[in-house]
Amino acid sequence: MEENAVIYEKREKVGVITFNRPHRLNAINEALLKGFIHQLLTAQKDPGVQSVIVTGAGRAFCAGEDLKETSSGKSFKQWTIEVDALQDVQRVILGLGKPLIAAINGYAVGGGLEFALSCDIRIAAEGATFGFPETSVGLTVTTAGTKLITQIVGLGKAKELILTGRFVDAKEALDIGLVNQVVTAEALLDQAMDMCRSINKRSSLAVKLSRIAIDQGMHASFEQILELEASHLLTCINSNEQQALVEKKLKTMQAGKVE
């Protein structure tokens, strides 16, 4: 098992998770999956962290399945363990309780693209590349990627990308809504940090509940989401944080400032 396949550091109130297998373009193996889950949980449990960034060391965000390891032979049991771990990543992200920003450098393909899709916001470097090569190597999308890509870019474009395995560059990714922003490689992490700072100025409780409502609203009925939103609003109103933030906002407005 590789040590430090995924590393974690805290910057200000931001947890930064970095895939750290640059010699393999941060391709997915058992060590990376276990490390990613561990570091997500570390960020989740850290009371000093309000938002989280995930990025990759070297020339890639994450190049998907490590085909070198796969070609050396995996037992059915090993594949079963890997599939369970891949899907556990998605479950942990759903329960993270904090915004997750993908800072995407280089390749984000296969499982790596699915990791990016699982994030709340995606910021890409100009040289980033995206795609689903699974069908070219006899595999399928695994980590709820079929659902996420459809929600993000629409049914027709999702089918095109998955069935053809065609890669898209950062510009096209922005055009189809796959990413939120494209910046220079040098500005990538700074832009992700700026996004986190903007989010961190807001109520942590309101941000957490809003994230839950958006995610659950994709699957809930209209009436169910109305009930959930009402419950969330009343939870916020009952919090001491809400009153303090209202008073702060009033003072800001009285000073002629808008945030």
Write the DSSP symbol of residue 57: S
186 labelled catalytic: no
What is each CA distance from 3 to 6, 8, 27, 122, 123, in whole angstroms?
8, 13, 15, 27, 28
**Bridge partners, 11 (sequence order):** 14
| Catalytic-labelled residue, pool 30, 65, 69, 134 | 134
- Residue 71 burial (CB < 10 Å; 0-12/13-18/19+)? exposed
| Catalytic-labelled residue, pool 114, 126, 186, 241 | 114
Question: Can you list the positions of beta strands (E) in 1-120?
Answer: 6-11, 14-19, 51-56, 60-62, 100-104, 107-109
**Bridge partners, 124 (sequence order):** 104, 182
3-state percent breakdown (helix, strand, coil) of the chain, nearest 5: 55, 15, 30
* 181 close to 175: Cβ distance less than 8 angstroms: no
82 labelled catalytic: no
Closest to 199 in 3D by CA, of 53, 38, 9, 76: 53
Q: What residues act catalytically?
A: 114, 134
